[in-house]
């Protein structure tokens, strides 16, 4: 196989993709963790900001920010290199953000969130799905709990911090958001919403990556898919101080987000400075065979049918509870390729792409249509156990997959099944590598392609209410994100 | 409008035949093992590909007609399997079907799907490429996934052959993914389903699941088929029906017809449909007649909305709404509804008052947990959004003989725009044994 990802020029080109390739070439099974800030104590503030969209417009938002400016941002390191360096994403990041900071805590911790309103013109509160939260401090009585009033509305020096306390008794994925004011949906609509992740007691970032304590919830890669939507007209009214001009009957969302960004911004990396208030990417990455934990959360007001290309996912948890009949195994989860994502619902699922049974060699062959001598490669388990001759392995796990390339060996050396039309007969996507083979690139006309120098397989993950692939009436945009299958040796962190 | 179309048509056809912008290389080119004359029909089976199945679709445009008489300009897929490749483009013009041709496969098939782009003759200003996205295909590779932003799509006058090794039975969808919000609203959507290997082999012990009659099974207890390789007979069915729910926004389609900016943000489903028809057209067996321009005023348009000539036959007289939703089952039989939702802006809930529903599959997979436990759900309604698929069994053993309605539980969706008692309804007739 042509070692294209070793060429420095293409390596640099990957930055355009948002793939954070800071690790040296290692050939190891690196892994991605959801970015966030760790507890058990969080100090958040609320403040308004304006957020730019790719069509050039901006939307007025209210956001939560981290007073500690990422001092407790989560650390990640290569699980195959447990003595290697820690990398901290989001250190120094403290602006108000959309969505709110992802809070990461451990099961059974006593969690404290101190909230101070630095400038949102209405008292702001925090409610946390699935938890019994106690509020105390210097707030005012709000709709359902204490709320922090705008400090600018108080005499100088008046305390306005509210402390929310709870015990993170069950692992899983939860939503926290503000719920206050005459229009109870306004605060979440304006952006005062984020995700809380509770790691199970048995979790270890390098040796035991699990979503729940139940079996069947282990994973290699972890990604957040936070779905929200915005009605910009409502935000324009709020920006002008007309807090009561919009009611539920007027609301019609026309911008759809994943992790607070729209296509194509959401392909760019975490904490990209192009998007100062939208720190989180929504480009998922995996190698063939990786178990990918997707924490898919709908924090919006509308339902979204979210579709995953490439393979089905297996549901393992919902709203902070494993889908289990016996507390031992996540045995009640089903398979689907589209999540019926209801508002304020959080679903945890495992997605795995193996390339199995395509009936052609994903790394290409030396003969047949599109064959090339430089595509020659080996597969180290060509005779995997298939006693009954059904073409599948006999349930012995990874026996059929090459250890280093993750190729499914029964498909090894099978020629590509058809000839592809010439480039003049094709329209070419920007993320098309020019080759159907994984880790390969082909010759493309000038100005075409170029956004996929790794030869990754882009498998889009998007709302299947295709109207939602627009940003304020412009296609393409909205909640069109992607998973990228990368060659096994490509680093993911 | 009338004169424009009559004069524009021959020149646009000539343009399409020449391949439009891609004059140099464009050609219809079907790839199908064992097919010697390029019509996607296997003439002598290729020993290297004994299970090859081929199909040739065109992507183009046409008109369909709503149940209130309102003609809708649309994009879609059309069936051209068996057509001489030299005449496919001419035949394919104004032949887009609504929904697209149903694709029915067996597990183990090697499926070669050729897609030829015949252009949009009513909109000669457009040069849109097209794709097929096999929605739910397992372990999909980007090259055959049909997403233009990250893959390839086929230009006017040329053919792209997709290859799918069919290993997972279940109910799927196929649709075009180019400018997805537009092409899917315009009608590039269709049913696709795969029968399991268990139909051929039965399972062990055979008393639980004998070989299916659709594959030659003769056991008196044998069902017509199974939905999945369940190994316990619990997904057996006697009658199956694909039910694809969708909707058109007439303002969007009219904007496309009259070359106006497309209203994405304002898009709203106003013609709810099952398999491309609103009730009562859903229960007309077979093809609907070729669409005609509206005789009476409809939805703010005068008679003759498209051509200026009320009653003029559209699509050169070709019927394009070929999928009825007539469901007839004998009491005691089990009915399989292959439900899919391809609406691009809203969720629907289907119910059939008086009939028990059991969901046995979601997202093209049997509802079975990681440890092998069947986790079927007995329900009285199914709520689903765009892209969602449910396999639903209705056991009629304890059901009274009679006619039942399968309809949207959002009762206001039982309308064709302003015409009531229409929209998302069809009938299930349970007959005396």
In tens, the pLDDT along A316-338 reads 999 999 999 999 999 999 999 99
Do B333 and B393 fall within a single domain? yes
Do B39 and B173 fall within a single domain? yes
Of A216, A357, A475, the CB nearest to B264: A475
Q: Name the residue of chain B whose CA is nearest to A457's CA.
A: B142
8 A C-beta contact, residue B57 and residue B134: no
Is residue B354 scored above 60 in pLDDT?
Answer: yes
Q: Would you call A275 helix, strand, or coil by DSSP?
A: coil
8 A C-beta contact, residue A479 and residue A463: yes
Establish how many alpha carbons lie within 13 A of residue A29's alpha carbon, considering only the half-sphere containing its beta carbon: 17
pLDDT band, very low/low/confident/very high, at B385 (cuts 50, 70, 90): very high
Cβ–Cβ of A467/B388 closer than 8 Å?
no
Residue B308 resides in a domain: no
Of B139, B145, B181, the CB nearest to A469: B181
Do B165 and B264 fall within a single domain? no
Cβ–Cβ of A335/B344 closer than 8 Å?
no
Q: Would you call B34 helix, strand, or coil by DSSP?
A: coil
Full domain range(s) for residue B411: 238-286+322-433
Tell me the chain A residues in contact with residue B165 when contact means C-beta distances shorter than 8 Å. 357-359
Is residue B2 scored above 80 in pLDDT?
Answer: no
Q: Give A 200-229 residues with CB within 8 A of chain B.
A: 216
Q: Name the residue of chain A whose CA is nearest to B385's CA.
A: A305
Number of alpha helices (DSSP H) and beta strands (DSSP E) in chain B: 5, 25
Which pLDDT does position B153 carry in this prediction? 98
Do B21 and B126 fall within a single domain? yes
Rounded distance, CA A346 to CA A325, Å?
Answer: 19
Q: How much is the mean pLDDT over chain B?
A: 94
Residue B141 resides in a domain: yes
Tell me the chain B residues in contact with residue A309 when contact means C-beta distances shorter than 8 Å. 140, 145, 147
List Cβ neighbours of B242 (8 Å cut-off, separation of 6 or more). B102, B171, B191, B193, B275, B323, B338, B340
CA-atom Rg of chain B in angstroms:
22
Q: What is the CATH number of domain A31-351?
A: 2.60.40.420
A92 touches chain B (CB under 8 A): no
Tell me the chain B residues in contact with residue A422 when contact means C-beta distances shorter than 8 Å. 25
CATH number of the domain encompassing residue B83: 2.60.40.420
Residue B214 resides in a domain: no
Of B154, B182, B368, the CB nearest to A421: B154
Q: How far apart are the CA of B313 and the nearest CA of chain A, in angstroms? A: 32
8 A C-beta contact, residue B228 and residue B209: no
Q: Give A 322-381 residues with CB within 8 A of chain B.
A: 323, 325, 329-338, 340, 353-360, 362
Structure tokens at A124: 């702001």
Q: How far apart are the CA of A451 and the nearest CA of chain B, in angstroms? A: 9
Cβ–Cβ of A418/B362 closer than 8 Å?
no
- Write out the H or E segment, with its range, that includes residue A9: helix A8-13
Of A325, A424, A472, the CB nearest to B265: A472
The one-character DSSP state at B199 is: H
Spans of all domains in chain A: 1-25+417-455, 31-351
Q: How far apart are the CA of A249 and the nearest CA of chain B, in angstroms? A: 15
pLDDT tens track for B204-256: 888 889 999 999 999 999 999 999 999 999 999 999 999 999 999 999 999 99
Do B176 and B246 fall within a single domain? no
Residue A461, number of CB atoms within 10 A of its CB: 24
Residue B304 resides in a domain: no
Cβ–Cβ of A304/B263 closer than 8 Å?
no
A/B interface, count of CB pairs below 8 Å:
225
Tell me the chain A residues in contact with residue B170 when contact means C-beta distances shorter than 8 Å. none
Cβ–Cβ of A427/B389 closer than 8 Å?
no
Q: Name the residue of chain B whose CA is nearest to A306's CA.
A: B387
Establish how many alpha carbons lie within 13 A of residue A475's alpha carbon, considering only the half-sphere containing its beta carbon: 19
Residue A115, number of CB atoms within 10 A of its CB: 27
Tell me the chain B residues in contact with residue A427 when contact means C-beta distances shorter than 8 Å. 129, 148, 152-155, 178
pLDDT tens track for A114-168: 999 999 999 999 999 999 999 999 999 999 999 999 999 999 999 999 999 999 9
- Give the 3-state secondary structure percentages of chain B, helix then strand then coil, rounded to 5: 15, 35, 50
Cβ–Cβ of A430/B182 closer than 8 Å?
no
Q: What does B332-371 look like in DSSP terms, one character per residue?
A: T-EEEEEEEE--SS--EEEE-TTS-EEEEEETTEESB-TT
Q: Name the residue of chain A whose CA is nearest to B269's CA.
A: A467
ipTM of the complex: 0.93
A303 touches chain B (CB under 8 A): yes
Q: Phi/psi at A84 (nearest 5 deg)?
A: -75, 180
Interface test with A, best of B24, B59, B152, B229 (most A CBs within 10 A): B152
Structure tokens at B14: 């000539």
Which pLDDT does position A79 carry in this prediction? 53
Of A331, A427, A482, the CB nearest to B371: A331
Q: Name the residue of chain B whose CA is nearest to A255's CA.
A: B265
B176-185 residues labelled b (16+ CB within 10 A) or e (exposed) = bbbbbbbbbb
User: Last residue of some domain: B168, B195, B222?
Assistant: B195
Of B180, B363, B370, the CB nearest to A336: B363
Lowest mean pLDDT among A401-410, B123-132, B282-291: A401-410
Q: How far apart are the CA of B254 and the nearest CA of chain A, in angstroms? A: 17
Rounded distance, CA B202 to CA B236, Å?
Answer: 11
Tell me the chain B residues in contact with residue A17 when contact means C-beta distances shorter than 8 Å. none
Residue B207 resides in a domain: no
Of A312, A330, A429, the CB nearest to B151: A429
Do B75 and B149 fall within a single domain? yes
Q: Would you call A283 helix, strand, or coil by DSSP?
A: strand
Tell me the chain B residues in contact with residue A457 when contact means C-beta distances shorter than 8 Å. 141-142
Tell me the chain A residues in contact with residue B345 when contact means C-beta distances shorter than 8 Å. 465, 467
Number of alpha helices (DSSP H) and beta strands (DSSP E) in chain A: 3, 27
- Residue whose entry in the numeric block shows the structure tokens 């970015």: A35
Q: How far apart are the CA of B348 and the nearest CA of chain A, in angstroms? A: 11
Structure tokens at B280: 């009562």
8 A C-beta contact, residue A427 and residue B155: yes
Q: How far apart are the CA of B163 and the nearest CA of chain A, in angstroms? A: 7
Of A357, A436, A475, the CB nearest to B181: A475
Lowest mean pLDDT among A12-21, B144-153, B387-396: A12-21
Q: Into how many domains does chain B fold?
A: 2
Cβ–Cβ of A312/B365 closer than 8 Å?
yes
Q: What does A233-252 look like in DSSP terms, one character per residue?
A: HHHHHHHTT-TTS--GGG--
8 A C-beta contact, residue A266 and residue A224: no
Residue B149 resides in a domain: yes
The one-character DSSP state at A379 is: -
Cβ–Cβ of B364/A337 closer than 8 Å?
yes
Which pLDDT does position A252 carry in this prediction? 93
Residue B173 resides in a domain: yes
Residue B125 resides in a domain: yes
Please give the C-alpha separations between residue B293 and each of B97, B216, B257, B306, B309, in angstroms, as whole numbers. 17, 46, 13, 6, 7
Q: Name the residue of chain A whose CA is nearest to B149's CA.
A: A429
Cβ–Cβ of B155/A425 closer than 8 Å?
yes
Which pLDDT does position B21 carry in this prediction? 43
Is residue B3 scored above 50 in pLDDT?
Answer: no
Tell me the chain B residues in contact with residue A314 when contact means C-beta distances shorter than 8 Å. 370
Residue A13, number of CB atoms within 10 A of its CB: 16
Q: Name the residue of chain B whose CA is nearest to A315's CA.
A: B369
Rounded distance, CA B85 to CA B318, Å?
Answer: 19
Which pLDDT does position B23 carry in this prediction? 44
Q: Name the residue of chain A whose CA is nearest to B111's CA.
A: A417
Do B385 and B273 fall within a single domain? yes
Is residue B116 scored above 90 in pLDDT?
Answer: yes
Cβ–Cβ of A353/B24 closer than 8 Å?
no
pLDDT in tens, chain A (493 residues): 333 333 333 333 333 343 333 333 333 456 899 999 999 999 999 999 999 999 888 999 999 999 999 999 998 866 566 677 778 899 999 999 999 999 999 999 999 999 999 999 999 999 999 999 999 999 999 999 999 999 999 999 999 999 999 999 999 999 999 999 988 899 999 999 999 999 999 999 888 999 999 999 999 999 999 999 999 999 999 999 998 877 778 899 999 999 999 999 999 999 999 999 999 999 999 999 999 999 999 999 999 999 999 999 999 999 999 999 999 999 999 999 999 999 999 999 999 999 999 999 999 999 999 999 999 999 886 556 655 554 445 554 556 888 788 999 889 999 999 999 999 999 999 999 999 999 999 999 999 999 998 899 999 999 999 999 999 999 999 999 999 999 988 888 7
CA-atom Rg of chain A in angstroms:
24
pTM here is 0.93
Of B24, B110, B389, the CB nearest to A359: B110
Tell me the chain A residues in contact with residue B134 when contact means C-beta distances shorter than 8 Å. none
Tell me the chain A residues in contact with residue B383 when contact means C-beta distances shorter than 8 Å. 340
């Amino acid at each position: 196989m042509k070692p294209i990802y070793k060429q420095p020029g293409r390596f640099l080109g990957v930055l355009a993709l948002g793939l954070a390739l800071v690790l040296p070439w290692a050939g190891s099974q690196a892994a991605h963790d959801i970015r966030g800030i760790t507890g058990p104590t969080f100090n958040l503030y609320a403040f308004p900001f304006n957020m730019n969209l790719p069509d050039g417009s901006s939307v007025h938002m209210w956001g939560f920010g981290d007073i500690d400016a990422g001092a407790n941002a989560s650390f990640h390191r290569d699980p195959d290199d447990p003595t290697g360096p820690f990398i901290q994403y989001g250190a120094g990041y403290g602006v108000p953000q959309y969505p709110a900071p992802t809070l990461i805590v451990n099961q059974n911790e006593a969690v404290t969130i101190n909230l101070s309103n630095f400038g949102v013109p209405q008292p702001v509160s925090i409610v946390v799905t699935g938890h019994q939260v106690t509020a105390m401090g210097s707030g005012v009585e709000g709709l359902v709990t204490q709320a922090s009033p705008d400090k600018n509305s108080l005499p100088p020096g008046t305390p306005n911090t509210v402390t929310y306390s709870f015990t993170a008794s069950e692992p899983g994925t939860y939503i926290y958001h503000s719920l206050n004011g005459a229009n109870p949906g306004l605060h979440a609509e304006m952006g005062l919403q984020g995700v809380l992740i509770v790691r199970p007691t048995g979790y270890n970032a390098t040796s035991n990556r699990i979503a729940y304590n139940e079996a069947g919830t282990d994973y290699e890669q972890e990604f957040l898919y936070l779905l929200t939507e915005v009605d910009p007209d409502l935000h324009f009214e709020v920006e002008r101080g007309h807090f009561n001009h919009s009611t539920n009957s007027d609301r019609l969302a026309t911008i759809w987000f994943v992790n607070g960004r729209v296509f194509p911004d959401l392909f760019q990396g975490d904490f990209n400075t192009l998007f100062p208030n939208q720190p989180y990417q929504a480009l998922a990455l995996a190698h063939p065979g990786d178990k990918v934990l997707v924490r898919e959360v709908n924090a919006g007001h509308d339902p979204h049918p979210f579709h995953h290309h490439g393979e089905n996912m297996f549901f393992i948890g919902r709203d902070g509870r494993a889908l289990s009949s016996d507390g031992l195994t996540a045995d009640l989860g089903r398979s689907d390729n589209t999540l019926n994502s209801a508002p304020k619902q959080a679903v945890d699922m495992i997605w795995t792409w193996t390339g199995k049974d395509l009936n052609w060699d994903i790394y290409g062959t030396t003969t047949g249509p599109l064959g090339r001598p430089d595509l020659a490669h080996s597969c180290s388990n060509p005779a995997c156990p298939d006693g009954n001759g059904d073409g599948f392995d006999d349930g012995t796990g990874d026996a059929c997959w090459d250890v280093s390339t993750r190729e499914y060996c029964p498909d090894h050396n099978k020629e590509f099944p058809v000839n592809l039309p010439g480039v003049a007969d094709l329209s070419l996507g920007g993320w098309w590598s020019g080759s159907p083979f994984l880790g390969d690139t082909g010759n493309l006309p000038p100005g075409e392609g170029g956004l996929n120098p790794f030869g990754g397989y882009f498998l889009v993950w998007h709302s299947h209410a295709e109207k939602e692939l627009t940003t304020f009436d412009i296609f393409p945009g909205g909640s069109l994100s992607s998973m990228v299958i990368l060659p096994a040796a490509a680093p993911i962190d | 409008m009338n004169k424009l179309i009559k004069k524009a048509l021959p020149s646009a056809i000539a343009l399409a035949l020449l391949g439009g912008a891609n004059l140099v290389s464009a050609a219809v080119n079907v790839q199908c093992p064992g097919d010697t004359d390029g019509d996607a029909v296997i003439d002598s089976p290729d020993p290297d590909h004994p299970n090859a199945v081929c199909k040739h679709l065109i992507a183009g445009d046409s008109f369909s007609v709503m149940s209130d008489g309102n003609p809708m300009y649309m994009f879609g897929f059309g069936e051209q399997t068996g057509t001489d490749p030299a005449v496919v483009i001419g035949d394919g013009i104004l032949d887009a079907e609504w929904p697209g041709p149903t694709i029915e496969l067996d597990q183990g098939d090697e499926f070669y799907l050729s897609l030829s782009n015949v252009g949009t003759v009513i909109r000669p200003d457009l040069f849109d490429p097209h794709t097929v996205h096999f929605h739910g295909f397992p372990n999909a590779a980007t090259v055959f996934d049909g997403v233009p932003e990250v893959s390839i799509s086929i230009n006017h006058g040329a053919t792209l052959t997709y290859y799918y090794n069919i290993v997972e039975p279940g109910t799927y969808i196929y649709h075009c993914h180019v400018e997805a919000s537009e092409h899917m609203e315009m009608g590039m959507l269709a049913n696709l389903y795969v029968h399991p290997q268990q139909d051929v082999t039965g399972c062990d012990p055979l008393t639980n699941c004998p070989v299916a009659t659709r594959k030659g099974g003769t056991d008196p207890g044998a069902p017509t088929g199974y939905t999945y390789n369940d190994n316990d007979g619990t997904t057996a069915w006697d009658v199956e029906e694909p039910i694809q729910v969708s909707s058109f926004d007439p303002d969007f389609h009219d904007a496309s017809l009259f070359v106006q900016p497309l209203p994405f943000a304002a898009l709203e489903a106003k013609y709810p449909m099952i398999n491309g028809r609103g009730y009562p057209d859903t229960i007309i067996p077979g093809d609907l007649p070729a669409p005609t321009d509206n005789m009476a005023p409809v939805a703010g348009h005068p008679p003759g909305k498209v051509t200026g000539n009320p009653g003029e036959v559209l699509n050169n007289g070709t019927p394009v709404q070929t999928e009825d939703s007539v469901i007839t089952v004998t009491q005691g039989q089990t009915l399989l509804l292959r439900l899919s939702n391809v609406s691009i802006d809203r969720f629907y809930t289907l119910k059939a008052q008086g009939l028990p529903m059991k969901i046995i599959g979601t997202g093209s997979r049997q509802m079975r947990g990681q440890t092998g436990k069947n986790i079927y759900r007995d329900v009285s309604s199914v709520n689903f959004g765009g892209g969602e698929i449910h396999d639903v069994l209705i056991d009629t053993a304890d059901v009274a003989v009679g006619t039942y309605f399968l309809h949207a539980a959002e009762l206001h969706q039982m309308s064709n725009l302003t015409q009531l008692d229409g929209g998302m309804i069809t009938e299930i007739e349970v007959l005396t044994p």
